Structure 1
């Protein structure tokens, strides 16, 4: 990755070129096949990761073996970076590839050493993390205070924002359902109702949002 590409990532935005070069010098790349595990809950966590292409699934397993998807990490997103600030550096979830995935692996200790050397950098980083935390709190609010239809419509509008009113279902529906805290059959029923109301259309693996204004009214 170039230094400019690294600096576009939220975690590295405050770094200067020398600091970015140090980060890059300790990074490496890895390809994961679809279904391949990257790490398991409780494993030591010496690294954090960037998805260059593909998608990773972060999930928990219940005692009965049921899977709860915590998050789906897609191209351009970092994950497991928060673990470096924990007292005990172990991954709190499992991670596996949803599709063939190309990762960049970053060294946690290298980044922490930069923070030790520059208190000013640490303060800038705290500001960025605070902004991200507010965004995550909004997601929690959606999951806890709004019904399943609201959550799905909100998800579809967010996904379609940069895709000209279309949502390609590159992630299995059961993964999307788990991410939105609903059962797959609930997701299918909501999609059917939205289709009957003329708000969207299903074209194979693509959802076409026919009436984004109508969908937004669902959120009101």
Structure 2
């Protein structure tokens, strides 16, 4: 893959590639490719042989699992700058544990897993750097899993609405939902009906108003309190 200067700089900042020396980085680029996906197009399916890991450059990628009964559970929504499918390259028989589909027209870079593993086999230093970076990534994922399992549905939703909002913000602010509501419901581990009820309850409190995919937050601090049940919020 021939790199434009801006793309090369972007790829060198990817945590898995940041510790590679110039020769190792060039080896990775020779076996990498840019992938364009249309809205709704599959990248891979659950159980497929895992030959690549990926970086999202544009759009959104939905990772999900499908139960034997046909129910879909959204595992994660990936946005530009995020990588995925890197951990499976270290399995004895690597296969993707989830399916991946483009929510919108998307552009990715696919990296050859076998090339990367060969680099690690040849360099102990590179191997330890990657292990350290992946440990940090795993720690952040564990924190998210803990939040999803411990928090109630209302707190999960209010945290989602407030993510990226400065801690000292008071409101009002507008939040655009960048996901279809059924996808957001699955991501938050609630049914679409439950998500609608929670939104309606918060709206009745006067803290937000809903206009299609846009949420008007009238009182940021009040919404934080509402989610936690602290004084100033409304207990469900």
- Is the pair's TM-score, using the shorter chain for normalization, greater than 0.5? yes
**2:181 corresponding residue in structure 1:** 173
Q: CA deviation at 1:169?
A: 1.7
Question: Structure 1, residues 92-116: CA drift from partner, whole Å, max 9, x if none?
Answer: 1111111111111111111112111
Choose from 122, 135, 153 the match for 2:127. 122
Counterpart CA distance in 2 for 1:133 and 1:150 is 23
SS in 1 for 2:101: strand
CA contact (8 A) 1:6 1:20 kept: no
Question: Structure 1, residues 1-53: CA drift from partner, whole Å, max 9, x if none?
Answer: 53321122222222233322222222111211111111111111111111111
Q: CA deviation at 1:56?
A: 1.1
**2:233 corresponding residue in structure 1:** none
> Runs of 5+ in structure 1 lacking a partner?
none
Counterpart CA distance in 2 for 1:173 and 1:202 is 12
Counterpart CA distance in 1 for 2:216 and 2:27 is 44
Report matched runs for 1:62-73 at 5 Å: 62-73=67-78
**2:157 corresponding residue in structure 1:** 152
Choose from 176, 184, 191 the match for 2:192. 184
- The structure number with the bigger radius of gyration is 2
**1:195 corresponding residue in structure 2:** 203
2:99 is equivalent to residue 94 of structure 1: yes
**1:210 corresponding residue in structure 2:** 218
CA contact (8 A) 1:160 1:166 kept: no
Range that drifts further, 197-206 or 109-118: 197-206
SS in 1 for 2:16: helix
Counterpart CA distance in 2 for 1:214 and 1:89 is 47
When normalised by structure 1's length, the TM-score is 0.91
CA contact (8 A) 1:159 1:167 kept: no
**1:20 corresponding residue in structure 2:** 25
Choose from 121, 127, 145 the match for 1:140. 145
> Runs of 5+ in structure 2 lacking a partner?
231-236
CA contact (8 A) 1:115 1:122 kept: yes
SS in 2 for 1:11: coil
SS in 2 for 1:64: coil
After superposition, the CA RMSD in angstroms is 1.9
CA contact (8 A) 1:3 1:21 kept: no
